[in-house]
Structure 1
Amino acid sequence: MPGIEIAILPELLEKCPRLQIGCLSAGVAVEPSSPGLIRETEQACDHISRSLEIDAVSSLPHVRSTREAYKATGKKPGRYRPSAEALLRRVLSGKGLYYINNVVDVINLCSITTQYSIGGYDADHIRGKVTMGIGRGGEPYEAIARGPLNIAGLPVLRDKLGAFGSPTSDSVRTMVRNDTSYLFLAFFNFAGHERLEEALQQAAGLLATHCRGKNTEIWLLSNS
């Protein structure tokens, strides 16, 4: 059985009835990215730069459905861009991707190639059952590299300590650290797009190749 217990709250399913969360847990070893991973990422960025225009990013199916979900839950997607959209726009602006560590870099590579916004978390810092709902006004959230983030109206993951994840930005509390050994990924699929499991398998393969991924478990969560 998966080590992370997770459920989607009715308040979010009412707004986004086709929402699926693709879940992956795995043991990992965090290290600097290898030349092979950097090369694979640069090749993906080059392919995206040659095949996609920046004005078309918001119309990509996974990006568009996430933006529509934000509108349904009460958030402006232009101001709080889904992470996949932000990464793709960065690539298409010629800025490339930051290289943080092998685990974060694999997550970013998966995001730009599958076009899913992906939350990546140190599972040992998640406390109790996880639920996905809608952020409330004044709810505290310290986003990585952004500081306090207004998550009111934003789809969010919570544990018993509060909100820790969203399709826009991960939180400092559950971020991947140098000593992270147990990883949890959430692929946010707001319109029930096909091939979600294929994207999860891609992530599992990259984690095995570049992050010594082991004991990987994959499961899907939806309204059905």
Structure 2
Amino acid sequence: MRIIVSSEIETVCPGFVGAAVEARVVNTEHNAALWSEIDTLAERFRAEHTTETIKQISGIDATRRVYKACGKDPSRYRPAAEALMRRIIQGKPLYRIDTLVDLVNLASIAYGYSIGGFDAGRFEGDTLTLGIGREGEPYEGIGRGMLNIAGLPVYRDAAGGVGTPTSDNERTKMTMETRHVLVLINGYDGDEGQVMANARYVGGLLAGYASGRDIGITAYRP
């Protein structure tokens, strides 16, 4: 996929850097070793953070600032990484969906970036463009129903929105039938080193837990 960062995003976040991880995979309903890794990280996270300190994590702080710059309240439409971290700190169990979704959530918690995980076979066209959501733009968030994405950063393919830092779209979500994934890491803090480290971490998780092969990692920016 070709990924374009629009001038809309460049205006509110000129230092944006993203990373795309693409791979052929095999999904499973549950992976015990993966969940052992998730539980270990969650335990450490609860010991080190509060619901206030997570807002100071670079990726989360930057995403919240971009939300505000775009006109969205980040406390009402929380970035996914922050929402996952809050669940951990509040002692709530993380959702167990399937191995692909679970490992993307782990990678998001580990680095603090909101990460989109997509079934690449469900995209329309060969280009994704990162822009800003418009009033009345239709968007069905995964497990959330119709979501008001006005003022949210959004990736669009030829048919419309597929991913925001708050929720990805039902149309392109990963399922048990997914064999080709595209994972997008959103570095609104402009820290290319951390973004690429997160991408390599995702690649390792895909290889270790989802039989990942033909793994490719690419950086993109305005």
Taking structure 1 as the reference length, the TM-score comes to 0.96
Determine the structure 2 residue equivalent to 1:34. 31
Q: CA deviation at 1:98?
A: 1.0
Q: Percent identity?
A: 38
Determine the structure 2 residue equivalent to 1:190. 188
1:157 aligns with 2:155: yes
Q: CA deviation at 1:124?
A: 0.4
In the TM superposition, 1:55-94 aligns within 5 A as 55-94=52-91
Q: CA deviation at 1:56?
A: 1.1
- Mapped partners of 2:58, 2:27: distance in 1: 32
Moved over 4 A (4+): none
Determine the structure 1 residue equivalent to 2:220. 221
Paired residues of 1:21 and 1:186 also in contact (CA < 8 A): yes
Read off the aligned partner of 2:206 and give its amino acid letter: L
RMSD: 0.8
Paired residues of 1:156 and 1:163 also in contact (CA < 8 A): yes
Deviations 1:178-205 (A, max 9, x none): 1000000110111201321111111100
SS at match of 2:171: coil
Taking structure 2 as the reference length, the TM-score comes to 0.97
Unaligned segments of structure 1, at least 5 residues: none
Q: CA deviation at 1:61?
A: 1.1
Unaligned segments of structure 2, at least 5 residues: none
Paired residues of 1:23 and 1:185 also in contact (CA < 8 A): yes
- Mapped partners of 2:177, 2:70: distance in 1: 35
Read off the aligned partner of 2:84 and give its amino acid letter: L
- Mapped partners of 1:187, 1:173: distance in 2: 19
Paired residues of 1:26 and 1:216 also in contact (CA < 8 A): yes
Determine the structure 2 residue equivalent to 1:211. 210
Determine the structure 2 residue equivalent to 1:140. 138
Read off the aligned partner of 1:41 and give its amino acid letter: I
